[in-house]
Structure 1
């Protein structure tokens, strides 16, 4: 926790932190009681700091997921993300619960909260484009311009929760994918039917052409035969 251990011991009794002057080490009941109190206090402080780091880090991870932050940027905070599910007894790395570490996470959370509004708008339109691509992929008509204007108007009104809007867009994408899958199956069947119909038409024309050629050949044979007969 980056606490000055020597200073803490000196606060209990000077002999505990400095024995260079030859003074005997104090092991009185009062000193032992004071040490016990310090240990208890440090454990409580450690618990409180760990809880604060875990709460901040969980919020940080939520912001990362929401804003689709690159993994490389997340790695800079691996020293706190590993503490999310840790118990007090499992935390033993020196300085991992220091005031500087807590401040670092707080500053990052504040920074991401500032970026959140613009980033969320970007993500919403990214989802909108994805939705349009799904519909276009199965030849469904979409008025992109009108949809974008409505979306922009809702965002700029400031009366909408961007997180809820993003979740709504994700739900729409999921439903669109299901519809597209069903529609694609129908389109595939139509394509197969069209191919079969075209193939049947070609075979009919081919058969007619063959019959025509055969008729011509028979006619020629009859003509030649008649010529010999005369």
Structure 2
């Protein structure tokens, strides 16, 4: 392929030299002819020879003109290739550079439209495209992070990214990939991360407060149920067990050595047991209660009689 290109260059170069030679000869002949006519110093044979020479140069020039047209066409095509690459370079450069920087310009000498120069521009375009790809990857990572944080925190994602750059809020179209945009996205993500941490800490503090309140309420309920159990045992004339007293002591409950919920469950079970036992001994307890009441009344009556006797 390169050999064909080199051969083409050589042919074009030869045609250009030949065209230049023919053109120069033609101009010289015309100048000579004009000088001869002006001085009337030429013979008819000389004029005829000059005309033949001029005619030959014209024919040779006419033969070269198509090649010159082909070269001009190729030059236009080559220039179009240059323009296409240059426009792509400008477009990519505008996406990765801030708008306040002087627009990207590529000085191109139209006299040098060689493949070497075109390859240099193409390599520069490829380098910019790779840089754009890397920057786009960074931007998308930041956008994904921001989207997740906005969903968790209940923040408007589109408004957040529009504050960084309007192009970031659009689903279609190119995005601004400048250093300023990337840094602003990273800063916005960092700010939302800090807000997330603050909210999590606040939630954790509230959960801890509620847990402490729950434990406090449970302790109060346990102490209340403990008092209720003691009252049921007293009414049933049951003697408190030492193990029970140690298990449900106020010190143990206040210290939180055992789970208040477990203690409450055990106290509820004890209350149910005491109630069942009291119900099974209901008749005996009623008789004992009546006997105690009678004893109390008799004691009061006896004290009254003694007091009356003493006063009389």
- For Structure 1 versus Structure 2, the TM-score category normalised by the shorter chain is 0.3 to 0.5
**Higher relative contact order, structure no. (Cα contacts within 8 Å, ≥ 6 residues apart):** 1
TM-score by length of 1: 0.41
Say which one has the larger Rg. Answer: 2
TM-score by length of 2: 0.32
